[in-house]
Chains A and B, each alone.
Chain A
Amino acid sequence: MINKFFVYLVLSLFGISMIFPFLWMLSTSLKEPSQIFTSTLQLWPTPIMWSNYIEAWHAIPFGKFYLNSIFVAVAVTFGQILTSSMAAYAFARLKFPGRDKLFFAYLATMMIPGMVTLIPVFILLKMFGWLDTYKALILPGIFSAYGTFMLRQFFMTLPTDLEDAARIDGCSSWRIYWQIILPLSKPAIATLATFTFLGNWQSFFWPLIVTSSEHMKTLPIGLSYFQDIYSTNWTLLMAASVIVLAPALIVFILNQRFITQGIALTGLKG
């Protein structure tokens, strides 16, 4: 009993220290500029400035940035699930010469830091004439060695008997993938979807590099508009951050158990 109390106490302390920055963000987003830097710790803003949110929303083309961010994150997520699951199925179940070597070669690409491929990919996109389009924002993101690896590991755990039975009934490989493997892999796919969506939602450097016109930009770039060389408008920046964070937070809360599963499944953090 006492033991349990102690465990809860320690966990609560950690929990509070984790959640405090978020509360602080929320509180700052509702303060007047003159209230941010006071000598006493003041979490509850008086007066509550809801107008910060309206002002932040109008300071940059938030609506357009929001649509871009949602569209890009959703498209990349779907694309990545499609390509990763198909590749993973091939690597896990189909038999062809050099399969495992190919898989390890693909896996090895995870070791190459993104900065190394940045300029080659940029040049490629320029040659295709895709710079400053949704294609540049989406297509490079839909292939993922990590996603393929994760789904392959999961597919390997599915019993082969199911597949054998289907084959005896005359089922094609495509149909096995589509009607047996995919429906059975919902938890793994949800995990991958969550990681991919969150990763894309906060992606800053790639969208910054490949877009130049205002109407192609995404939310993280919009957020950086609030910070300038000489001054930062903290209340508006925090209000904007809350607006940007909301969907990611919702995705996280809904899919929390999948994230834990994903880490347990691969031993890797997205």
Chain B
Amino acid sequence: MSKNLKICFAAALMLSAIFSTGCSSKKENSAGAGKQTEIRVAYWGAPSEKEIINKTISNWGKNNPGIKVVLEHIPSGTYTDKVLTEIAGGNPPDIIFCEVNIFVTFFYKNALLDLTPFLSGDKGFSINNFFPEVVSRFTRNGKLFCIPRDTAPFACIYYNKDLFEKSNVPFPKDNWDMNEFLATAKKLTIDDKGRHPGDPEFNEKKISCYGYWGWTWHNFVYSYGGKLVDDIDDPKTCLLDRKEAVDGVQAFVDLSYRHFVSPKPDALTNSGMSINQLFIMGRLAMFQSGIWETPNLRQLVGDKFKWDVAMFPKGPKGKRGFGTGGSGYAILKTCKNPKEAWEVVKCLAGDEGQEMLADTGLAQPANRKIAGGKHWAGDLNPPQNKKMLNEAVKYVYYEPFHPLWREASDKYIGPEMDLIVHNTVPVKEGLAKVAVKVNKILKQK
């Protein structure tokens, strides 16, 4: 009995001996590497994205032997926590990958280095090549803090061409408006006996194919002339209780509860299917999202049917507006070798990486030249109309730039919107509540 224990402890000792020698040999290696400057990059991304970033950096490294780039991949769900802990613990990376909302968090932690001096000192690089709307998100008080890599307006309406042809409905055009959009969605919504919403005896409980589904109510607020706050760059008042915003959200809710063209949230949960799945199975004719659905759809739709994207429709008064994502690379203030880090940022947000990313369909290049070129606008892979996104960028609305906006959104807007889209709280009443709470949060800064 005690023999067993002794063996156990002997094993433990051996293990500890192994790992201590393992460590010392590693140290020798890094000491032998010489005078390379090490630049650490924290980023997240799907395996395909990771591969592109690795490839870009290793190609670049051949011509830049003086800089050793260490890529640290972090799962997206814990990215901010991990990087903030590293900053607080005094072991920060040099460069961080930043999504447009995570950017706000790091900006207010005062963690980002002003990149403007590098712009003026570097003749080989011009920020004017990038979409100005995207650059402006990363600019505060005339200083640029992040070099954009991609942009992602929530402006895509993916549609199943075969279903349109079967119902004899013309394909959507980018300049369509809300009325045309609703009429189209109604024609494509079919119950078990082939009837459409508005037909006598249409059975909304047995819909076999839905016309439309979209997750962003924001687009409706913007298209109806509303806004989330008075000034995105310096929000002071929440405007969600104004008439335009209420009308927009009402139009969004009506799609499910009045026109029956969209699945109700409960029906969707009960179907046990994701939106992508409904679309792929031909039980949903159109859905709204960002361009990032593309790699998945290319793989899963295959030859089952033809599909494309159209721009989200104009509002009743011809107004356009979409929420947006996007990302870029920033250098942290604590970086000891900012010159070298700048070179790495230029590579990460550079042409080669953006082109490869564009080829996968995952992200729209932030560089206008590439977005207008053969890797994006001229690319013939589905969705062929993705070039419309280069126009859509002009109408994007970023989320309000405020340190507590995330909190306001998660704590107040999200839960109340949940009640509204379940039709348990009237739109006007719900949004009035939201505005009061959000206004309180906007005052603490």
Which stretch (A4-12, A95-103, A143-151, A226-234) binds chain B?
A226-234
Q: Considering the chains assembled together, what is the distance between the CA atoms of A118 and B84 in angstroms? A: 12
Q: Once bound together, how far apart are the Cα atoms of A141 and B292, in whole Å?
A: 40
Does B31 sit at the interface, judged by CB under 8 A? no
Please tell me if the beta carbons of B89 and A126 are within 8 angstroms of each other in the complex: yes
Q: Which A residues are in CB contact (< 8 Å) with B70?
A: 212-213
Select from chain A the residue with minimum beta-carbon distance to B299.
A33
Task: Report B-chain residues with C-beta under 8 Å of the C-beta of A182.
Answer: 2, 5
Are B16 and A75 within 8 A (Cβ)?
Answer: yes
Whether, in the assembled complex, B114 has its beta carbon less than 8 Å from a beta carbon of chain A, the answer is: no
Instruction: Chain B residues near A221: list those with CB within 8 A.
Output: 75
Q: Whole-angstrom distance between the alpha carbons of A74 and B19 in the complex?
A: 13
Instruction: Check A227 against B75 for contact (C-beta < 8 Å).
Output: yes
On whether the beta carbons of A39 and B271 are closer than 8 Å, the reply is yes
Interface 9-mer from B38-46, B159-167, B242-250, B374-382:
B38-46
The residue in chain B whose Cβ has the minimal distance to the Cβ of A220 is B75
State the Cβ distance, B275 to closest chain A Cβ, in Å. Answer: 10
B44 near A38 (CB under 8 angstroms)?
Answer: no
| Bitwise interface map of B from 86 to 125 toward A, beta carbon under 8 Å scored 1, else 0 | 1011110000000000000000000000000000000000
Contacts of A138 in B (CB 8 A): 19
Complex interface: chain A residues within 8 A of B15 (CB): 71, 74-75, 78
A214 interface residue (CB < 8 Å to B): yes
Known contacts: A82-B12, A126-B89. The answer to whether A208 contacts B82 by CB under 8 A is yes
Interchain CB contact under 8 A, A119 and B78:
no
Establish whether residues A134 and B89, one from each chain, have CB atoms under 8 Å apart when the complex forms: no
Residues in A with CB closer than 8 Å to B26 are: 133
The tally of CB-CB contacts under 8 A between chains A and B is: 100
Q: Return B115 CB to nearest CB of chain A, in Å.
A: 24
**With A and B bound together, what is the CA distance between A221 and B5 in angstroms?**
32
Among residues of A, the one whose C-beta sits closest to the C-beta of B74 is A208
Assess the A212–B77 pair: CB atoms within 8 A: no
A71-B19, A75-B19 known; A33 and B300 CB under 8 Å? yes
* A contact residues, total (Cβ < 8 Å): 42
Asked if B85 contacts A122 (CB within 8 A), the reply is yes
Contact residues of A between 203 and 229, Cβ < 8 Å to B: 205, 208-209, 212-214, 221, 224-225, 227-229
Smallest beta-carbon distance B205→chain A, Å: 15
Contact B271 A122 (CB under 8 A): no
> Which of B26, B70, B91 has the most A CB atoms < 10 Å from its CB?
B91
Are B273 and A119 touching (Cβ within 8 A)? no
* Partner of A39 from B46, B72, B272 at Cβ < 8 Å: B272
A138-B19, A212-B40 in contact; A34/B75 too (CB < 8 A)? no
Q: Mark A64-98, 1 if CB is under 8 A from B, else 0.
A: 00000001001100110010000000000000000
Query: Does the CB pair A37–B272 fall under 8 Å?
Result: yes
Instruction: Tell me if A179 counts as interface (CB < 8 A to partner B).
Output: yes
Chain B min CB distance to A80 (Å): 10
Interface membership of B59, Cβ < 8 A: no
Is A178's CB within 8 Å of the partner chain B? yes
A105 at the interface (CB under 8 A from B): no
Select which of B40, B77, B280 is within 8 A of A224 by beta carbon. Answer: B77
In the complex, are the beta carbons of A37 and B274 less than 8 A apart?
A: yes
Cβ–Cβ contact A214 & B90, under 8 A = no
- CB of A122 within 8 A of CB of B91, answer yes
Complex Cα distance, B48 from A59, in Å, reads: 10
Asked if A167 CB lies within 8 Å of chain B CBs, one says no
Which A residues lie within 8 Å of B300 (CB)?
33-34
Shortest CB distance A96–B (Å): 25
| Chain B residues closer than 8 Å to A257, beta-carbon distance | none
Q: Does A21 contact B (CB under 8 A)?
A: no
Q: Provide the A19-36 mask, 1 if CB < 8 A to any CB of B, else 0.
A: 000000000000001101
Is the beta-carbon distance between A183 and B89 smaller than 8 angstroms? Answer: no
A178 to B76, CA, bound (A): 48
Query: Cβ of B22: which chain A residues have Cβ within 8 Å of it?
Result: 134
Interface residues of B (CB under 8 A from A): 1-2, 5, 8-9, 11-12, 15-16, 19, 22-23, 26, 40, 44-47, 70, 72-78, 81-82, 85-86, 88-91, 271-274, 277, 280, 290, 292-293, 296, 300
Closest 10 CB pairs of A and B: A78-B12, A224-B75, A122-B89, A37-B277, A37-B273, A212-B72, A228-B46, A134-B19, A229-B76, A183-B1
For this complex, 14 residue pairs linking A to B, each with C-beta atoms less than 8 Å apart, are A36-B277, A37-B273, A37-B277, A71-B19, A78-B15, A79-B16, A122-B88, A123-B90, A126-B91, A179-B2, A214-B73, A224-B77, A224-B78, A228-B45
**Chain A residues in the interface with B (C-beta under 8 A):** 33-34, 36-39, 59, 71, 74-75, 78-79, 82, 118-119, 122-123, 126, 131, 133-135, 138, 178-179, 182-183, 186, 205, 208-209, 212-214, 221, 224-225, 227-231
